[in-house]
Amino acid sequence: MKNTLFICIGIITLSIAISCKSETKLAKPYIIPYSEVKEAPLFLYNLPATTIAMDVKVKQTQSFKGPYSSYATKFLGLDNKSIIKRNSIHYEIVDIQFTQFPTPDSSQWYAYMNDPSIIPNFSLSQENVLTSFNAISDSIKNPPYPNVLNPTQVELDGSFRDLGVIKIESEEIQTVYRHIKSDTTIIKVPVQETVRSLKSIEDMARHVSDFIIKIRNHRYELVAGLYEAFPEGESLKASIEEMYSVENRYTNLFTGVNIDTTYTFKFLFTPQGNSITPILKTLCYFDAETGVTLISPNQQYSNDNINQHLRLEIEYANYHPITNQRVSSGGPVYRIPALCEVKVLLGEETLSTKLLSINQLGNILQLPIDVLNNSNYKVEIDRKTGNLKSITTESSYDTKNKKDSKKK
């Protein structure tokens, strides 16, 4: 019975010793996730996320029918394909440009727990990204965040200006008879007067076509040197260019005119970390007749026509993220960005693609705690990605500084 009692006491004592040992606190300094902070840390730092900015350039083409289009073939012999038959508007995506910039990742905040008697040498960026431990960090000013104020598409009023060469009225001198009373008799007297009448569309078209042909003939005679006196050098060049300009303006009365306007829309998207790819995001709706229709997040799937969805697709490019290790009390936490293939799709058609490094879709790793306990380690971290930039010891760091000073 006594032996049994001694054994039980021994087991209880051993278990108490083990439990006490497991509760032994890690010696400061160390870094832990902010969600696990139970006392005031010395400072907090953040791992940066990547925001993708897309500039989508849209060309709006408005076609206006010329007032004399019905007579373009009859008077000028123009091909039907070169004649605008009706007023219309058309939109086309002509270019897509990708840029990216770092933003704070709200899910990746870490606390530096420190012994108050020991103040480490560290550097943080303006966005609270850790940039160095016991090392000199480069001072880099980040570019300002892009403006996302998008333009409004405007339809123009199509009107052909009065070129002032062809009169819209015709004048004709006609003889008319007026009755004049003379004494007791009434006599019929012939009188000439000018009668004005509005020209028909066909007459106007005929006069304009004659004017165009006259310009062409004068230009040929000028270039061929058939005049006794004509301009030379720059004057000749300017005269010929002006004659081409006048001819084109009057020809537009038959062919019609296209007016192009370019708009640039900017879209920003920050993917969520630990997302399963491919990531799909509808940016807006686009149609060749209505152009860009901007949407708010809660309207994202209100349009069921997939062919009108301008979407962003993100997929890993030859990259398979490892399972993120659990961040516990330890050394500095850093991130390895993921290389991703980013596409812009209209329906199922790929309009543009580019390879981009996206921070929050990569791996989160942690250095040993010895890096913090030993001031000989000089750690530099990239402020844009949160990845390691360099790790050097005191000796190698001094040698590097000496070489740099000699170069200067």
> Tokens standing for 32?
């832990």
Buried b (16+ CB within 10 A) or exposed e, 9-35: eeeeeeeeeeeeeeeeeeebbbbbbee
Mean pLDDT of all residues in the chain? 82
Mean pLDDT, to the nearest integer, of 77-105?
Answer: 93
pLDDT, tens digit (0-9, with 9 covering 90-100), for 97-123: 999 999 999 899 999 998 777 777 888
Kindly compute the dihedral angle of the four CA atoms of residues 300, 304, 307, 308, in this order, to the nearest 10 degrees: -50
Position 400 scores a pLDDT of 52
Mean pLDDT confidence for 344-371: 92
Q: What share of the chain is helix, strand, coil (3-state, %, to 5)?
A: 25, 40, 35
pLDDT higher than 50, residue 392: yes
Q: What is the mean pLDDT of residues 161-176?
A: 65
Confidence of residue 352 (pLDDT cuts 50, 70, 90): very high
Helix (H, G, I), strand (E, B) or coil at 206: helix
C-alpha 318/C-alpha 140 separation (Å) is 31
Q: Given this model, what pLDDT does residue 239 score?
A: 87
State pTM to two decimals: 0.76
pLDDT digits (tens, 9 = 90+) for 13-33: 433 443 443 345 678 889 999
